[in-house]
Amino acid sequence: MGSFQSPRGTRDILSPEVSYWQWVEATARTQFAQAAYREVRTPIFEETALFARGIGEATDVVGKEMYTFPDRKDRSLTLRPENTAGVVRACIQHSLVAPGNLQRLWYCGPMFRYERAQEGRQRQFHQLGAEVLGSADPRADAEVIALATDLLQRLGLSNLTMALNSVGDGRDRQAYRHALVEFLTPYHNDLDPDSQDRLSRNPLRILDSKDLRTQAIVADAPSILDHLSPDSKSFFDRVQQSLTDLGIAFTLNSRLVRGLDYYTHTAFEIQSSDLGAQATVCGGGRYDGLVEQLGGPSTPAVGWAMGLERLMILLQRLQEPPAMALDFYLVSRGAAAEAQALQLAQQLRRQDFAVELDLSGSAFGKQFKRAARSGAAACLVLGDAEAEAQTVQLKWLTSGEQLSLTQVELLEDVEGLRSRLALAAAALATSA
């Protein structure tokens, strides 16, 4: 072919679908505003070392999924594969993190990972995320998680489950890793090949292997929850209590492990069974060591990220897209009428009406057909006779009622029009 296609793993978000995106973004925006979270917009690419150090050299994300490239001065840059590292970097750079200083932030934007696409997984995808920096209080964990569950609820999504775990602090994890490796080593040859490999590299990941034989072995493995220090244990208890107080349902899953190295203590995932292999809609947890790891002051933090493509899959199954609201469709024919219609459309828009002007110049019949399909509440008609008399026909498309009035009258009766439009919209809503 001679034409271009969007690159592998990327896609265009077109008209009916894009209204879901706008709806989700608008809902998130108000939700975050109500909880006093501020939006951050960080660069889409960062120094490669930021991700390598933040996410962890040994992780798959860093090891094989990053879009890394040299710029013209041979600096190594990387398209962000996630945004926590970038947000933390921004907070350090602008001194937003300091002892006793709390930052509540949210973001939304594209992320990039070089992976084979499948349902709910693309090379360019979008995440909505929340981060709280500077609080070691378990209520911060609960607040941030509640924001995620509330948002999903506002969007009308039920049928989601939340898995919760604690991976403890660094020392707890170290101890647990030992215990786990000790337990698994005798079964080495019975593990699936991937897990055999992970035994030395990243043994915790064996816990959520999808291989059935491995799962059977892991079923009797020691639980991380038995390896938590008293402090870690009590912290996790308080997180659970806070969630319960908020009426947020969760299932403890001691085998829940997250793939990024920076997580400590609380780890959670919100999952749907309607998503195929990519079940996680939202994942996050506490990352108390990351700020320091990236060169800032020791600062506790919690956060999560939500995969918007996955969210859209669920939303599109549940409900029709919100329709584009159009007040008037303007039909005209004849040189004088067309000129007046162009001006009338602009004047109405300045009064905050949504107006579509038919530019086809085709027969009235065709234009009316388009008017009916446009979803507009009313149609305005300008032909030779109207142009001559400076009038306009106003036709309500729901009832078919039509009246003639002067263009001046139309523009002066803004309040009357607005209430009629509200009625028409209500009629549409009940008929739908």
Partner RNA sequence: GCGAGCGUGGCCAAGUGGUUAAGGCAGUGGAUUGUGAUUCCACCAUUCGCGGGUUCAAGUCCCGUCGUUCGCCCCA
Coil, helix or strand for 259? coil
Site string for RNA, 205-244 (x = CB under 7 A): x---xxx---------------------------------
φ, ψ of residue 104 to 5 degrees: the values are: -115, 120
Separation between Cα atoms, residue 415 and residue 411, nearest integer Å: 10
Contacts of 400 by beta carbon, 8 Å cutoff, 6+ apart: none
Q: How far is the CB of 418 from RNA (least distance, A)?
A: 20
Quote the tokens at residue 416: 């009357």
Q: What DSSP state is assigned to residue 47?
A: E
Site string for RNA, 110-149 (x = CB under 7 A): ---x-xxxxxxxx--x-x----------------------
Q: How far is the CB of 234 from RNA (least distance, A)?
A: 26
Strand order in the sheet with 402-406: 355-357, 326-332, 376-382, 391-396, 402-406
Q: Among 58-66, 136-144, 160-168, 314-322, which window interacts with RNA (CB under 7 A)?
A: 58-66
* Single residue of 333, 341, 345, 417 touching RNA by CB under 7 A: 333
Residue 73 or 210: the one with the smaller Cβ distance to RNA is: 210
- Sites for RNA among residues 30-49 (CB under 7 A): none
Separation between Cα atoms, residue 212 and residue 346, nearest integer Å: 65
- Sites for RNA among residues 255-314 (CB under 7 A): 258-260, 269, 276-284, 305-307, 309-310
Q: What DSSP state is assigned to residue 94?
A: T
Q: How far is the CB of 399 from RNA (least distance, A)?
A: 7
* Single residue of 45, 67, 183, 364 touching RNA by CB under 7 A: 364
* Single residue of 29, 139, 238, 370 touching RNA by CB under 7 A: 370
Residue 222 or 259: the one with the smaller Cβ distance to RNA is: 259
Residue 101 or 326: the one with the smaller Cβ distance to RNA is: 326
Q: Nearest-CA neighbor of 405 among 386, 378, 379, 423?
A: 386
Quote the tokens at residue 112: 């990039």
